[in-house]
């Protein structure tokens, strides 16, 4: 690639796909010039793009939260990169930053990203990839969701869906550190073996090969104290049927319902009969506490008490397929796309 070419992924069309789902032809490759920066701006060299199931929310818009990206504008999402030029007094070349920005080689930005959130600095000693994974939206969702809504106590039985994914893998490890017995739900024997092996979960349910309600009942004879849900649909319904009295359901995501909503929940009256709570949370409501979460997760990551699972696709062209692959379970852990070498400090 020549240094004066800025590759971009552009939103070509927002009409395809079912529901909020995306299709490959909604992304278009474009080359432009590297942007100039003005006073108060910096030029960031992107190194990693983050693939997130909520990418569709950027393309199609999400009521009350995100406006749809106009057709022909660059696709946006989580980016980790290095400042390579700066005309902002607080940022210097070599600073490692993350933020929600254009999916391009180079981005001209002020200190706020495209959501109006301050660019986050990746703490010294951590790779740029960790800035998007454990120290970014995924680790933080696990930390705030499990901490503020799970209220895990030693001896609790905690079940995590989407457990071999970016958020689920951290959520389950955090629950174990709080003294819980943790069961992960994931698709396929390889992911289940990762959970009960490297990640230290107590048991795993392969939802593609096993009957989830009966496996939950067998593994949780006294009921589920905390269900941390990334998936929704039938798996959430099975958890509702197996909750313990006073149990807490934490709604982080519902990937099973994004492309087709499904029939709806049948077992919701368990919330009343067993005095359970079901609470949801949204990452962007926690901006004021990002620092607290990054500090805690950074300490745990550095000490080896939590393990980071990365799934890195190489090359700029890999983005659309890597993003869509999340809906087929092709990723294990955090799906990233590495588009360039880290230029370093």
Ligand X SMILES: NC(=O)c1ccc[n+]([C@@H]2O[C@H](COP(=O)([O-])OP(=O)(O)OC[C@H]3O[C@@H](n4cnc5c(N)ncnc54)[C@H](OP(=O)(O)O)[C@@H]3O)[C@@H](O)[C@H]2O)c1
CA-CA-CA-CA torsion sign (119, 120, 126, 130) = negative
Nearer to ligand X, 187 or 223 (CB): 187
Cα separation, 252 vs 281, in Å, equals 6
Nearer to ligand X, 89 or 263 (CB): 263
Nearer to ligand X, 41 or 311 (CB): 311
Nearer to ligand X, 83 or 128 (CB): 128
Tokens of 180: 């819980």
Q: Give the nearest distance from C-beta 260 to ligand X in angstroms.
A: 9
Q: Give the nearest distance from C-beta 252 to ligand X in angstroms.
A: 5
Q: Give the nearest distance from C-beta 1 to ligand X in angstroms.
A: 28
Q: Residues 83, 89, 94, CA angle at the centre, nearest 5°?
A: 25
Q: Give the nearest distance from C-beta 311 to ligand X in angstroms.
A: 8
Q: Give the nearest distance from C-beta 249 to ligand X in angstroms.
A: 13
CB 69 within 8 A of CB 76: yes
Q: Give the nearest distance from C-beta 282 to ligand X in angstroms.
A: 4
Which residue has its beta carbon closest to ligand X? 165
Cα separation, 146 vs 295, in Å, equals 16
Q: Can you give the binding site for ligand X, defined by CB under 6 A?
A: 52-54, 137-138, 141, 162, 164-168, 186-188, 191, 230-231, 252-256, 281-283, 326-327, 329, 331, 335
How many Cα neighbours within 13 Å face the side chain of 199? 34
Query: Which residues lie below 8 Å from residue 197, measured CB to CB, with a gap of 6+?
Result: none
Nearer to ligand X, 97 or 235 (CB): 235
Nearer to ligand X, 43 or 337 (CB): 337
245-263 in b/e burial notation, b at 16+ Cβ within 10 A? eebbbbbbbbbbbbeeeee
């Amino acid at each position: 690639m020549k240094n004066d070419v800025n590759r971009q992924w552009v939103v070509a069309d927002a009409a395809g796909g079912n529901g909020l789902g995306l299709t490959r032809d909604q992304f278009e490759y474009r080359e432009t010039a590297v942007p100039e920066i003005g006073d108060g701006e910096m030029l960031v060299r992107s190194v990693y793009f983050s693939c997130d199931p909520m990418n569709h929310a950027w393309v199609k818009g999400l009521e009350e939260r995100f406006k749809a990206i106009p057709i022909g504008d660059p696709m946006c999402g989580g980016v980790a990169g290095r400042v390579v030029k700066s005309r902002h007094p607080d940022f210097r070349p070599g600073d490692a930053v993350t933020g929600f920005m254009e999916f391009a080689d180079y981005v001209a930005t002020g200190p706020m990203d495209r959501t109006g959130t301050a660019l986050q600095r990746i703490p010294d000693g951590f790779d740029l990839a960790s800035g998007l994974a454990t120290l970014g939206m995924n680790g933080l969702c696990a930390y705030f969701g499990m901490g503020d809504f799970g209220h895990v106590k030693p001896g609790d039985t905690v079940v995590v869906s989407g457990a071999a994914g970016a958020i689920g893998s951290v959520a389950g490890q955090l629950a174990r550190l709080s003294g819980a017995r943790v069961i992960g739900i994931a698709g396929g024997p390889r992911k289940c073996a990762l959970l009960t092996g490297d990640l230290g979960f107590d048991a795993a349910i392969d939802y593609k090969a096993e009957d989830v309600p009966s496996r939950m009942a067998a593994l949780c004879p006294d009921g589920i104290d905390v269900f941390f849900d990334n998936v929704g649909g039938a798996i959430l319904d099975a958890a509702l049927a197996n909750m313990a009295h006073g149990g807490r359901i934490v709604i982080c995501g519902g990937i099973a319902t994004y492309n087709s909503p499904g029939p709806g929940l049948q077992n919701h009256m368990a919330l009343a009969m067993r005095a359970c709570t079901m609470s949801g949370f949204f990452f962007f409501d926690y901006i004021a506490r990002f620092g607290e979460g990054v500090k805690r997760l950074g300490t745990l990551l550095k000490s080896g008490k939590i393990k980071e699972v990365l799934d890195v696709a190489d090359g700029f062209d890999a983005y659309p397929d890597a993003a869509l692959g999340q809906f087929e379970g092709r990723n294990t852990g955090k799906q990233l796309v590495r588009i360039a070498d880290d230029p370093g400090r």
